């Protein structure tokens, strides 16, 4: 029997909605709050505003069992909650630092809602948004300010940090079967509350259809607030740098005639290195790595430290986009008037997210050089067309390939691995060229169909 908790989640985006739906799946009473009325109305109808495999089913299941509700009223949710997660976005500001205005506004509102209310237990305010080190104290300060404005400075609450490590495209799996849960707190009672709340995940004792259960016990890492906040930045910056590292190695592989896929395999089997996040290609994008690496660089500079390794990681990543153009120019020479097809527009497969997607920059660079760019994506075509008017979006991959001088696989959606390569070759201008931006295809298959194959670091 799990302990009963009433949970509020502020922000119904990727992190908030997944957190809310997963906690409701564990059997808790959860209310997801968002100030966006359209989004909440959508959710109340059982529809999710984002594309994330399995999320809609989980949301509907939670709502059907009466465990998951949606609201636009933060103060009401604060009153009824034992634990309140803040999961609003912290976008990149103009100077690279994280913009905390949404987090700040929520903190003030929490303070205001708490003021003058008698509570049996302090409200545990859990910061899940990615925030600079020291933000826990900042959130406390704003809660106090909000409470003072509401006429009562003495309110019962605790602020803890609980960074999120889920990946888009596998958000539910990552939430229910995490590698670890990190909790930063300054008080024992808040820590105990969070330990009890996460008990079903730590012990892996919850009902799930997602078998096989891959973990015995999930490590629960407890630390201070600042270290928890830093763990999030350090983890994302390390992963981004790991990718930039293999991309640098891939470039050197091309020069010396080695194959980076074999190199990554041989390196990755060393447990100290690990096999994951060693796929070379056009580099990292998305809503997290670019923003978090920029924020960590900005934090370092605030303290007069030059983060040379992080700077280099970003430089390598920028080069990767341009290397697509260089590879096309090697075969096609001038790109003016050439028709180029981009397959996959989202920043990675199984999401409809186009934030910092390499496709947008590559399309822009091609457009600058006078190429005619056609794009296809299994889910985000319409969104991409709105973002980049110069990109001609079509809704069938073969349509994009008709008359194309070259095709670039930008995102490794599964369906591109199943393309009929003979048909691809017959539709394209001769000689057809394929730039595999994710090393997703087997070069032998591509060449057998009479298409020139250009991967990243593949000899």
Query: For binding to ligand UGA (CB under 6 A), which residues are involved?
Result: 130, 164-168, 236, 239, 243, 277-279, 281, 283-286, 288-289, 292, 347-348
Q: Decide: helix, strand or coil at residue 291.
A: helix
CA–CA dist 359, 413 (Å, integer): 13
* C-beta atoms surrounding 439 within 10 Å: 22
Residue number, 143 or 293, with CB nearest to ligand UGA: 293
Taking each helix axis as running N to C, give the angle between helix 14-25 and helix 55-64, from 0 to 180 degrees, rounded to the nearest 10.
50
Residue number, 278 or 406, with CB nearest to ligand UGA: 278
* C-beta atoms surrounding 450 within 10 Å: 15
Q: How far is the CB of 164 from ligand UGA (least distance, A)?
A: 5
In 3D space, the residue among 11, 87, 98, 104 whose CA is nearest the CA of residue 291 turns out to be: 98
Q: How far is the CB of 428 from ligand UGA (least distance, A)?
A: 25
Residue number, 343 or 428, with CB nearest to ligand UGA: 343
Residue number, 127 or 236, with CB nearest to ligand UGA: 236
Residue number, 84 or 246, with CB nearest to ligand UGA: 246
CA–CA dist 384, 377 (Å, integer): 9
DSSP for 137-175, written as a single string: HHHHHHHHHHHHHTT-----EEEEE------TTSHHHHH
Whose tokens are 């690990």? That residue is 274
CA–CA dist 151, 21 (Å, integer): 35
Residue number, 70 or 289, with CB nearest to ligand UGA: 289
| Burial call 224-263: b when 16+ CB within 10 Å, e when fewer | ebbebbbbbbebbbebbbbbbbbbbbbbebbeeebbbbeb
Q: How far is the CB of 178 from ligand UGA (least distance, A)?
A: 9
Q: How far is the CB of 247 from ligand UGA (least distance, A)?
A: 8
32 is catalytic: no
Q: How far is the CB of 277 from ligand UGA (least distance, A)?
A: 4
* C-beta atoms surrounding 320 within 10 Å: 24
Q: How far is the CB of 63 from ligand UGA (least distance, A)?
A: 25
Q: Alpha-carbon torsion 420, 421, 422, 424, what sign?
A: positive
Residue 69: strand pairing partners: 31
* C-beta atoms surrounding 97 within 10 Å: 18
Q: Could you list the active site residues?
A: 288
């Amino acid at each position: 029997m799990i302990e009963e908790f009433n949970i509020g989640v502020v922000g119904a985006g990727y992190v908030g909605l997944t957190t809310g739906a997963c906690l409701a799946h564990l059997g808790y009473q959860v209310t997801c709050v968002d100030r966006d009325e359209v989004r909440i109305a959508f959710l109340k109808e059982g529809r999710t505003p984002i594309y994330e495999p399995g999320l809609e089913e989980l949301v509907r299941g939670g709502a059907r069992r009466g465990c998951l509700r949606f609201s636009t009223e933060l103060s009401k949710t604060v009153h009824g909650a034992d634990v309140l997660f803040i999961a609003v976005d912290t976008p990149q500001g103009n100077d690279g630092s994280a913009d905390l205005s949404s987090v700040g506004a929520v903190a003030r509102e929490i303070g205001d809602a708490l003021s003058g209310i008698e509570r049996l237990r302090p409200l545990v305010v859990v910061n899940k948004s990615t925030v600079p080190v020291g933000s826990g104290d900042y959130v406390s300060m704003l809660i106090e300010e909000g409470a003072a404005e509401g006429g009562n400075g003495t309110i019962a609450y605790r602020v803890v940090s609980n960074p999120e490590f889920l990946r888009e495209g596998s958000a539910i799996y990552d939430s229910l079967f995490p590698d670890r849960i990190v909790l930063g707190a300054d008080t024992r009672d808040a820590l105990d509350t969070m330990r009890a709340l996460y008990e079903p995940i730590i012990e892996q004792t919850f009902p799930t259809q997602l078998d096989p259960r891959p973990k015995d016990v999930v490590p629960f890492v407890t630390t201070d607030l600042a270290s928890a906040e830093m763990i999030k930045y350090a983890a994302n910056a390390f992963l981004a740098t790991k990718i930039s590292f293999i991309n640098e190695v891939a470039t050197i592989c091309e020069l010396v005639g080695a194959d980076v896929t074999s190199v990554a395999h041989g390196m990755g089997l060393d447990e100290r290195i690990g096999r994951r996040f060693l796929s070379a290609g056009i580099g990292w994008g998305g809503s997290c790595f670019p923003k978090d690496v920029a924020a960590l660089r900005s934090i370092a500079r605030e303290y007069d430290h030059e983060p040379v390794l992080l700077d280099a990681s970003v430089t390598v990543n920028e080069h990767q986009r341009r290397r697509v153009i260089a590879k096309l120019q090697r075969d096609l020479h001038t790109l003016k008037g050439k028709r180029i097809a981009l397959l996959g527009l989202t920043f990675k497969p199984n999401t409809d997210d186009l934030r910092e997607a390499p496709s947008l920059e590559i399309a822009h660079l091609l457009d600058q050089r006078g190429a005619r760019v056609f794009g296809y994506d299994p889910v985000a075509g319409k969104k991409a067309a709105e973002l980049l008017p110069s990109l001609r979006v079509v809704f069938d991959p073969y349509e994009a390939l008709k008359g194309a001088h070259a095709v670039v696989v930008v995102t490794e959606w599964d369906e591109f691995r199943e393309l009929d390569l003979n048909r691809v070759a017959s539709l394209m201008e001769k000689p057809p060229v394929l730039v595999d931006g994710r090393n997703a295809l087997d070069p032998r298959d591509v060449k057998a169909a009479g298409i020139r194959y250009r991967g990243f670091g593949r000899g």
